[in-house]
A and B are shown apart, each in its own frame.
Chain A
Amino acid sequence: MGAKHYLRVLRAYQSLHFKTAMEYRINFFTKSGFMLLNDLMFLLIFMFLFKAFGTINGYSLTYAMLVFGITGMSFGIIAVLFGGRRELWEMILEGRMDFYLSLPIDELFHALGSSSAYDGYGDILFGLLILIFVAPQSLPIGIVGALIGAVVLLSFFILMNCSAFYIEHPKATTTAANDIIVGFASWPLDAYTTKVRTILYLIPIAFIGTVPTHLIQNFSWRELGLLAVVAVVILTVSILIWKAGIKKYESGNLVTTRI
């Protein structure tokens, strides 16, 4: 099956998710609206900090807002397109992957795309608003940066969920990993010491929010290429680890109904 087919499946799922959202529109608007409000409230924390300190290690409020906005948008893109990532580890643990494994389409892609989290729309809108107000001239670069950042983020989520193949209680590991990624990705790397920065480039959390923001502020094809290469490499690594892990999967022999 080619990429075209996968895109068609993703589009079909998105159309289905959107129809479901419109059926329960109060729930949809509450979740996405409150997530937007949630992000805006977090922005207030930035504002108070910068009002008190002026700049932090030479970076300004505008720069911090862009990093936070781009990271938020990447989270939103993954939540909307691949909302299944939130319960993937549970599906593995409870042996609920049988349905996906029995179909000709790739089980990882299918399991990730088969659900969507409405709060992601709030994150995407927040990121767009930040770009429009802070760097309107760089809107296309910002969106491209957030899309590539989303690929890096998705790879992290796949790796986190893979822990369910190897350990008995993956919830704590995934929660801790999630906290670390969100925490470090949401702040500009320039805030940290050189050692910490180097680690964050190597892991590579830096490529979620900080590098796309560098592109907005000072675009270079070289850096865009580097970002794309890193995204492809980490995605490939995460898929390979998933493929190795799925061999350990044990079915729960559950009879379930998918409505």
Chain B
Amino acid sequence: MNAYWAHFKTSFREDMQFFFSDSLIGSVGTLALITIILLLYQATHAALFFGLYTWSMLVWYIITTELLIQSQTGVVSRLSKQIQSGEIVSFMSKPYHYPFALLTKHLGSAAVESIAILMLAIPLGILLAGTATLSAGGIFFGIIAILFALLLDFTLSMSIGLIAFWTEDAGPYRWIYSKTLFILGGLMFPLEIFPSWLQSIAKVLPPAFMLYYPARLVVNFSWDLLITVLIGQLAYLALFSLIAMWMYKRAFRRVSINGG
């Protein structure tokens, strides 16, 4: 356990070293993306999402989904590069379980990214929409749902990254994964924009539990919603963890066969 905590701390400290020059400047891009989406919504002048979302809810919804998507700091590309260069073999042979070490490193980086994004996005949100929509329960349980969403993303990203053992480059699969998240997760718009048949399908799929539901919890907290979100997230987390571990075991065998 100490080894994994050390991985988290090292990764966090490493990224904090360049907090202002890397993370904070990088977050300006995220801020621009949030602004672009909100400018588009401002231009529609439509009754925002059929009366389901107020302007304030929409602003904080978009900030939360962007925070989630931008905090996913490149697990696929990191794994893909390590596999291509053969560097992964040295990590796999270390006296710790590599997937957990990768996860704790990932969480360390994600924490720094989140801090940087929030430092810019919170003032923007307050400026554009105030804080009337936010509640203590929504923020507290929203953070828990965000954490589970990051774990869920990690298990999926790891499975996708491991594809590089068979295809050399997992990049193209990541593009499709991220676009599926954009659309079915509700990155740029709440899922209520879909026709009702598609809405009911999208709301039970994993992307919704990674973006839509955590953001909805933040802007419109209720106990019923919290229970739905946590049950869905834990069920998918169990399923995708099993898939990721199964793929890792197969990949591990492949390394042994090739002699490393």
A residues apposed to B, CB below 8 Å: 26-27, 30-31, 33-35, 37-38, 41-42, 44-45, 48-49, 51-53, 56-57, 119, 167-169, 171-173, 175-180, 183-184, 187, 191-193, 196
B36 interfacial by beta-carbon distance below 8 Å? yes
Query: What are 10 contact pairs spanning A and B, CB under 8 A?
Result: A26-B167, A48-B189, A49-B188, A49-B193, A167-B21, A172-B18, A172-B23, A179-B32, A180-B29, A187-B40
Contact A56 to B23, CB < 8 A, known contacts A27-B169, A38-B179: no
Interface residue SS majority, chain B: helix
The 3 closest A-B pairs by CB, nearest first: A179-B29, A34-B172, A176-B29
Cross-chain contact A56 with B40 (CB below 8 angstroms): yes
Which residues in A have their C-beta under 8 angstroms from that of B43? Answer: 56-57, 191-192
For B175, give the chain A residue with the smallest CB separation.
A38
| Number of chain B residues whose Cβ lies closer than 8 Å to a Cβ of chain A | 37
Which single residue of chain A is at the shortest CB-CB distance from B70?
A179
**Residue in B32, B43, B183 with the greatest tally of chain A CB atoms within 10 Å:** B43
Q: Which residues of B contact A169 (CB under 8 A)?
A: 18, 21-22, 25
Q: Which of B28, B172, B175, B189 contacts A176 (CB 8 A)?
A: B28
**Is B171 among interface residues, defined by CB-CB distance under 8 A?**
yes
Chain A interface, >50% SS class? helix
Of A33, A167, A176, A187, which is in contact with the most chain B CB atoms at under 10 Å from its CB? A176
- Decide yes or no: A35 and B189 within 8 Å by CB, A42-B182, A179-B32, A192-B43 being known contacts: no
Query: CB distance A196 to B39 under 8 Å?
Result: yes
Given contacts A35-B172, A167-B21, contact A178 B189 (CB under 8 A): no
Which residue from A35, A52, A178, A187 sits with its C-beta under 8 Å from B175? A35
Q: Which of B1-54 contact A (CB under 8 A)?
A: 18, 21-30, 32-33, 36, 39-40, 42-44, 46
Judged by a CB distance under 8 angstroms, whether B173 is at the interface is yes
- Judge whether A119 and B172 touch: CB under 8 Å: yes
Q: B189: shortest Cβ distance to chain A, in Å?
A: 7
